Amino acid sequence: MGYHIQVEANINIYVEDLNPEGCKTIVFIHGWPANHKMFEYQFDQLPRQGYRCIGIDLRGFGNSDKPWDGYHYDQLADDIRCVVEALGLQQFILGGHSTGGAIAIRYMARHSGYGVAKLALFAAAAPSLIQRAYFPYGLERAAIEKIIEDTYNDRPNMLQGFGNMFFFQHVTGPFSEWFFQLGLEAAGWSTAAIAKTWLDEEGLFSDLGTIRVPTLILHGLHDRVCLFPLAVAQHKGIKNSRLVPFKYSGHGLFYDQRDKFNKELVEFIEE
């Protein structure tokens, strides 16, 4: 079941709500530059096991409205809060992949974890996607500036290149094309705007220490986008957290090791 929820005047966010009568609710926040459909291999299985799965398309992506602005983490976290309140969600599990994980962390800090019972971070882009003087573990700033430049000059080519480094295990040509099309569903300006946010956002370092709920960190050892030391930093920064390395995964661990991913998530929910 899919529908739109208004988060601001003339701005509507798309929500996919699977098994609304499920026993426990998991809210999924996708990574850049895709949308909720990236979790297809979770949505195939978890509702069958009795869980309510809610996939949210961030503004600018998927089936959500694509305004010109509002692509900083504060606003994106506020959008999630609007969805949570509109659906009356309580004691849910909040899960985020990559940039979606960063937004989930900002939600926990900015909204005091409103309604969240547990947090799950999947290859999260936190506390910093890029290298900084005090954090040498991310990508080089120039690599992100190149992504932004390429987004403006030849976004399809940029998306294909990004997709080629996303997964560690082999994916078929049709699967690669499907994943590529997810990125094309976004607007060019929102795709670039999120990438610009990676350069300037430094608040996640302090956000980590505000998280009080049990937290699961799933991260591929071969991740070439959000390098594995980011997961180590998250684990150190979040007191009640558990880090599970994925030995045979890259950035797309939700597909690289989808059975293990689903199993770890379910076990965490039921703890």
Rounded to whole angstroms, the Cα distance separating 74 from 103 reads 8
Residue in 64, 98, 190, 249 annotated catalytic: 98
Q: What is the mean pLDDT of each run of 10 residues along the chain (271 residues)?
A: 94 97 96 98 97 98 98 98 98 98 98 98 98 95 98 98 96 97 98 97 97 98 98 97 98 98 98 93
Rounded to whole angstroms, the Cα distance separating 32 from 27 reads 17
Model-level pTM?
A: 0.97
Identify the architecture of domain 2-270 in CATH: 3-Layer(aba) Sandwich (3.40)
Residue in 57, 223, 235, 241 annotated catalytic: 223
Q: Is 256 a catalytic residue?
A: no
List the chain domain ranges. Answer: 2-270
Helix, strand, coil percentages, rounded to 5, for the chain: 45, 20, 35
Strand partners, 51: 24
φ and ψ at 145, to 5 degrees? -60, -35
Please say whether the beta carbons of 120 and 231 come within 8 A: no
Q: Is 69 a catalytic residue?
A: no
Task: Express each pLDDT in 102-155 by its tens digit.
Answer: 999 999 999 999 999 999 999 999 999 999 999 999 999 999 999 999 999 999
Q: Is 251 a catalytic residue?
A: yes
